[in-house]
Amino acid sequence: MQKRKLRFGMVGGGQGAFIGPVHRMAAELDGHAELVCGAFASDPQRSQSSGQDIYRLPAQRCYPGYEVMFKQEQALPADERMDFVVIVTPNHLHVPVAQAALQAGFHVVCDKPLAMHVDEALQLAELLQASELRFALTHNYTGYPMIREARDLVASGALGAIRRVSCSYLQGWLAQEAADSKQAQWRTDPARAGSAGCFGDIGSHAENLLSFVSGLAIEAVCADLSTFVPGRALDDDGNVLLRLSNGARGTISASQIAVGKENDLTLQLYGERGGLEWRQSDANSLIVRWPDKPYEVRRSGWPGTGERSQAATRIPAGHPEGYIEAFAQIYRDFCLHLHGLPHGEYPSIEAGLRGNRFIEAVVQSSAQDCAWVKLDVN
């Protein structure tokens, strides 16, 4: 039985940030956790004002930096200090903040991608393994009920051996230079985003979703990344051919210059005996196709869907659940795990390490004129 809400702190998510308030809403949606402190910006004054004005926290729990926060939270009585930290910074700070949190004895929830490079992702994984702490990566699209239904349908063998998979994530918000946008500035800066732009930001989501549902490992990639906006240092569009562990083939397409597209995320998967299709714009529906009968449209909340899908559904069928609820599912499962209660699956540090290997291989392949590159799994 859960005895209390878990307390969490946040690093990043201050004024001008999009994802910080989303994390806060998602973490608190099911009543398992509450935000109690944070270091919300690199500038101490902005951190203070963000914590008080955006998150309505007391001044003494709005810290000037994450090192100070971890030290002072450690010194608080056990019934006051935070239990875990949520990292919502630009990519270059994910590993330093996570390392400091683990060394201070706090569980971690981190935005994706896990790290700037595979080497530092491995170092973080080793540090976590040496501890008794928990780590979640917020690949939130795996929290949709129909994505969990799709995963269970594939795992059941009903579709037969998987032959073809395809995931596409199209946006248009970076189709023009947006120098005045805080979100655009760091996502297009190699020093803060890493070696990939579009593919580090949303291509990583496509990889995770495809891998989660198919249950297959990507073994090799042939990538063609492009940078269309003049002066931009990182990719803003790309297409990748995939070879998967069971011999299946696939594609991932991602773009942030597809003018007019919002967050058009789609997944298609086809096996020997059936196929499935899902689109985020109609997230409560899963199309299942058969060779000898009309296709089905499975809907979240209906009897007959799987146990994991039902567990990720909060309201009766016909009332749309969406992005925040899917995000909240990651937090729900993580918090239940911290309490030692039965819980569902949430993306782990292993998923993050796999994602960094995918990004690294994609960048290498594109730089070598679309050569096939095997993913390092050691």
User: CATH no. for residue 163?
Assistant: 3.30.360.10
Lowest mean pLDDT among 5-14, 39-48, 181-190, 333-342: 181-190
Q: What is the pLDDT of residues 111-168, one digit of tens each?
A: 999 999 999 999 999 999 999 999 999 999 999 999 999 999 999 999 999 999 999 9
Residue 347 lies in a domain: no
E strands, 125-261, in order = 135-137, 162-170, 218-226, 237-244, 249-255
Q: Give me the domain span that covers residue 67.
A: 6-133
Residue 139 lies in a domain: no
pTM of the predicted structure, to 2 decimals: 0.94
Mean pLDDT of the chain: 95
**3 versus 193: which is more confidently predicted?**
193
Q: According to the model, what pLDDT value does residue 378 have?
A: 62
- Do 186 and 289 reside in the same domain of the chain? yes
Residue 319 lies in a domain: no
Q: Which DSSP state fits 291?
A: S
> What kind and span of H or E run contains 298?
strand 296-299
Point out the domain boundary residue: 110, 133, 156: 133
Q: What is the pLDDT of residues 162-219, one digit of tens each?
A: 999 999 999 999 998 765 577 888 899 999 999 999 999 999 999 999 999 999 999 9
CA distance 150 to 165: 13
- Rounded (5°) CA angle 281-283-284: 135
Q: According to the model, what pLDDT value does residue 373 have?
A: 98
Query: Cα Rg for the chain, rounded, in angstroms?
Result: 21
CA 19 to chain centre: 11
CA distance 264 to 253: 11
Q: What is the pLDDT of residues 19-74, one digit of tens each?
A: 999 999 999 999 999 999 999 999 999 999 999 999 999 999 999 999 999 999 99
Residue 2 pLDDT more than 60? no
- Do 99 and 158 reside in the same domain of the chain? no
Mean per-residue pLDDT, 293-305: 94
Using 50, 70 and 90 to split pLDDT, how confident is the model at 377? confident
How many domains are contained in the chain?
Answer: 2
CA distance 65 to 42: 7
Q: According to the model, what pLDDT value does residue 17 have?
A: 85
Residue 56 lies in a domain: yes
Residue 18 pLDDT more than 60? yes
Residue 222 lies in a domain: yes
Q: According to the model, what pLDDT value does residue 177 have?
A: 79
Point out the domain boundary residue: 108, 133, 158: 133
147: closest CA among 367, 337, 302, 300?
A: 300
Q: According to the model, what pLDDT value does residue 180 have?
A: 58
Point out the domain boundary residue: 89, 107, 133: 133
- Do 19 and 165 reside in the same domain of the chain? no
- Do 163 and 290 reside in the same domain of the chain? yes
- Do 182 and 116 reside in the same domain of the chain? no
